[in-house]
Amino acid sequence: GDRTSSPTPTATDSPIGITTFQPGLDRDVDNTFGPSFQGGAGYNSQNWLTLPKGTTTERFVEVANSAVSASSARGVFGGGIAPSYINTLVYITISTAGDAQDFGDLTVARGEFAGSFASSTRGVFAGGRIAPAPGTTNVTIDYVTISTIGDATDFGDLITAASAGGGCSSSTRGLTGGVSTPSAVNTIEYVTIATTGNAKDYGDLTTTVNNRKAFASPTRGVWSGGEGPINTMDYVTIQSTGNSFDFGDLSTAVRRASCLSNATRGITGGGVGSPAAVDTIQYVTIQSTGNSVDFGDLTSARHDHAGLASLVRGVFAGGHPGFSDVIDFITIATLGDATDFGDVPHSSSNDAGCSNGHGGLG
């Protein structure tokens, strides 16, 4: 302004922000949020500060875009056995219903993955068994950019060639555990999803069995069931490292199940019970500890199927008995039986799933 009156200001002073002297000023201030600084502003004194440039959305792009809306979240299924090992990637829009569409190919045909997980941008497929030798495990880690369509790119390698495990992730870090090498091990490995490179040691699960599957909240990863079958659930704090802790027990012991989650609920669907496949869906509240509770049933009893989720829906695809092309879905926040979603273009089992809108992203 031009407050030049002496010795004191008067009512005739021009208002602060007069456009005669500051023609670039904008007087249209938002009534709710007030003025905003779009450039840099500094104050010189014995103690000085410089205000940040731009809005928080502009300065923290990754934070602003960390959560994909439930309406646009995309799920990708990869690999599997049909009945030979395949490298196919297909995708769905989780909020809709319909058949899966072609996405691209993995770098190598494989199934029975050591784990799969995703950030809001990348989907990662780790390890697995490879053709033509069904007993041969693999160290390969592939990744895709979920919002685009195209073939997978090499990410790096697992510490140990592994298959038949479960993967989970936060928005930044992906974990695998409960794997076979080909004998069962209790090792957990991790990668930073936004980078590329080899996996690192995280710690150990409480139980040394394979065919464990996993789900996550933004802070916790949980492994569910496993070979036996067993009813054990373990959990870790994803951003730390160290050994897992006991979470509770499944109401139905299963192996070769499928897991998914929103930010609060973890779901275990299907699997092999004692001794046949089951259609049971069980859930827990991830931030607590305790035993699982009945959720409902799949459209059919099956195992070795893939699971993925948005913050609203959980989706299960493929599996045994036989090689299935069925896709089911549930609404995670409710209780009830699964509903038909559509089909995958090939009948398969032992494939992996991930999405850019799952519960580990918040």
Give the model confidence (pLDDT) of 184-218 as tens digits: 999 999 999 999 999 999 999 999 999 999 999 99
What end-to-end distance do the CA atoms of the chain give, in Å? 46
* Percent of the chain topping pLDDT 90: 77
Looking at every residue in the chain, the average pLDDT score rounds to: 88
Q: What is the mean pLDDT of residues 47-68?
A: 47
- Is there a contact between 321 and 270 (Cβ–Cβ < 8 Å)? no
pLDDT digits (tens, 9 = 90+) for 80-95: 999 999 999 999 999 9
φ, ψ for residue 59, nearest 5 deg:
-85, -25
pLDDT at residue 34 tops 50: yes
Per the CB < 8 A criterion, the answer to whether 92 and 315 are in contact is yes
**Among 243, 159, 153, 154, which Cα is nearest to 203's?**
243
Looking at residues 155-169, what average pLDDT do you find? 97
Contact 104, 144 (CB under 8 A): yes
Nearest-angstrom CA–CA distance, 189 and 174: 8
Q: What pLDDT score does 69 carry?
A: 84
Q: What is the pLDDT of residue 77?
A: 98
Give pLDDT, residue 57: 41
Please check the confidence at residue 21 and state whether its pLDDT lies above 90: no
How far is residue 300's CA from residue 277's CA, in Å, rounded to a whole number?
9
Tens digits of per-residue pLDDT, 1-11? 445 555 655 55
The band of 65, judged by pLDDT with boundaries at 50, 70 and 90, is very low
- Is residue 303 predicted with pLDDT exceeding 90? yes
pLDDT one-digit tens code per residue, 71-126:
899 999 999 999 999 999 999 999 999 999 999 999 999 999 999 999 999 999 99
Three-class secondary structure of residue 173 per DSSP: strand
The C-alpha atoms of residue 333 and residue 106 are separated, in whole angstroms, by 33
- Residues in contact with 275: Cβ distance below 8 Å, sequence separation at least 6, in sequence order: none
Residue in this structure with the two tokens 């005739």, named with its chain if needed? 12
Element (H, E) at 269: strand 265-269
